[in-house]
Amino acid sequence: MYALVEALYPICRSITGSGVRQSLALIGKHIPIKVTEVRSGTKVFDWVVPREWNITDAYIANASGERVHEFRDSNLHVLNYSIPVRKVLPLETLRSHIYTLPDQPDLVPYRTSYYEERWGFCMSQHALDALPPGDYTAVVESTLENGSLTYGECVLPGESDDEVLLSAHICHPSLANDNCSGLALLTLLAEELAQRRRRYTYRFLFAPGTIGAITWLALNEERVGRIKHGLVVSCVGDGGGPTYKKSRRGDALIDRAMMHVLKQNAAAPVVRDFSPYGYDERQYCSPGFNLPVGLFQRSEHGTFPEYHTSADGLGLVAPEHLEHSYQLVRTAIDILERDRLMINAQPKCEPALGARGLYATVGGDKNAAQSNMAMLWVLNFSDGEHSLLDIAERADLPFATIWQAAERLRGAALLREREPSRG
């Protein structure tokens, strides 16, 4: 997973352009990706698909012609979506086109100007301060022309047409955590799920933030009702959190599954109520859709000092954090796949588990004790009202333990399946 983060990191992405296509090509080495191109000018709800932006070079040169700041060193060095420019101007005038972080003077900010035509550069405050007065040549060799917005999908059909939507934004350039990490996690998750029997159909969506999600929703409006569960994944490689932000509904199965998984598997999980700010859950959870889509992150966007700066590099992301994030998401998907309403076939008094060899004699064997308790919980609450996840929550036991107990009891004909009445 970390290798894929490394491969994605150097690409200069934006909300349109060749960077997105290159990234999808990398992802496409792991999983089948269907790429969709949507022409500039296409109306998508209240928005219009913008012109396509591409960039080949950008730099600031001093009077001697030396490049004192250039795009080739880092694609953060240019204002994302900067219009082309080639101009000689004194430092004082140039300053108004240079973005810095005075409070974090060593770092270069990540800045964009999608919907207002501007040209500019991003620089550390220290680098700006080091520029001597004089005339400078500012060059941005970019194009902003009719073209298309690009997104990629990987769909894994399941037993049901009901869908699980897993979505990551693919518009940020060299920011490792935000969101090479999310792209890599979902890519490898798709690779694994492709090998498994699937109750649900899985749709992985790699699209530029905001305008990409809006475009996808606009073009797939009639299909949206199939989405029964969903998760936006971003910033999943750092050491913070983990954090789950609930869907607007707040009590969707994905909300309960993620909260259960974080509670059972993380030392200090953070759970947030829905708010209308963040990543593309803003669009999925707009009131006209109100999809059951939550957001999974480690550190929360906007709260960690490296956020949207050059410090969000490969060093911020660690393989063990990526792996932990992956396990959390996959465990939640296990819950979506396995949660069911089961029915106790002998609901009057406890069945004689011991006589059936199901009840382990406990001699300090903690696993056996937990397994016994799990069977008692499953039997007592499999009354047609409580799903396996309900029971796991009530028992405060891992879902997997409850599910294994249910499987044993089903094997002994003490439990039978009922179709879930909710989803």
Q: Which of 160, 275, 327, 367 binds a copy of itself (CB under 8 A)?
A: 275
Does 178 count as an annotated binding residue? yes
Q: Which of 379, 388, 392, 406 binds a copy of itself (CB under 8 A)?
A: 379
Q: Which stretch binds a copy of itself (CB under 8 A): 40-48, 126-134, 306-314, 324-332?
A: 40-48
Of the candidates 124, 152, 126, 144, which has an alpha carbon nearest to the alpha carbon of residue 23? 152
Mark 327-366 with x for binding to a copy of itself (rule: CB under 8 A) and - for no binding.
Answer: -----------------x-xxxxxxx-xx-----------
Angle at 295 between CA 182 and CA 52, to 5 degrees: 55
Residues 272 and 245: beta-carbon distance below 8 Å: yes
Peptide bond into 242 cis (omega under 30): yes
For a copy of itself, the closer CB: 47 or 83? 47
Does 308 count as an annotated binding residue? yes
Mark 390-419 with x for binding to a copy of itself (rule: CB under 8 A) and - for no binding.
Answer: ----xx------------------------
Token digits for 8?
């994605």
For a copy of itself, the closer CB: 160 or 275? 275
Residue 29, interface with a copy of itself (CB under 8 A)? no
Lookup result for tokens 């998984």: 261
What part of residues 44-103 is at the interface with a copy of itself (CB under 8 A)? 45-47
CB of 418 to a copy of itself, least distance (A): 13
Does 172 count as an annotated binding residue? yes
| Other CB atoms within 10 A of residue 410 CB | 15
109 contact partners, CB below 8 Å, separation of at least 6 = 76, 99, 100, 101, 122, 308, 309, 310
For a copy of itself, the closer CB: 77 or 248? 248
CB of 403 to a copy of itself, least distance (A): 17
| Other CB atoms within 10 A of residue 132 CB | 9
Q: What share of the chain is helix, strand, coil (3-state, %, to 5)?
A: 35, 25, 40
For a copy of itself, the closer CB: 62 or 286? 286
CB of 405 to a copy of itself, least distance (A): 12
Burial 363-393 (b: 16+ CB within 10 A, else e): eeeeeeebbbbbbebbbebbeeebbbbbbbb
Cα–Cα distance list, 420 to 232, 260, 337, 415 (Å):
25, 19, 12, 15
CB of 287 to a copy of itself, least distance (A): 4
Q: Which of 214, 236, 291, 402 binds a copy of itself (CB under 8 A)?
A: 214
Distance CA 175, CA 309 (A): 8
Q: Which stretch binds a copy of itself (CB under 8 A): 89-97, 117-125, 162-170, 210-218?
A: 210-218
Distance CA 5, CA 177 (A): 9
3-state secondary structure of 284: helix
Which chain residues interact with a copy of itself by CB under 8 A? 45-47, 115, 210, 213-214, 217-218, 221, 248, 273, 275-277, 282-283, 285-290, 344, 346-352, 354-355, 373, 376-377, 379-383, 394-395
Binding-site residues for Zn(2+), in ranges, read: 172, 178, 308
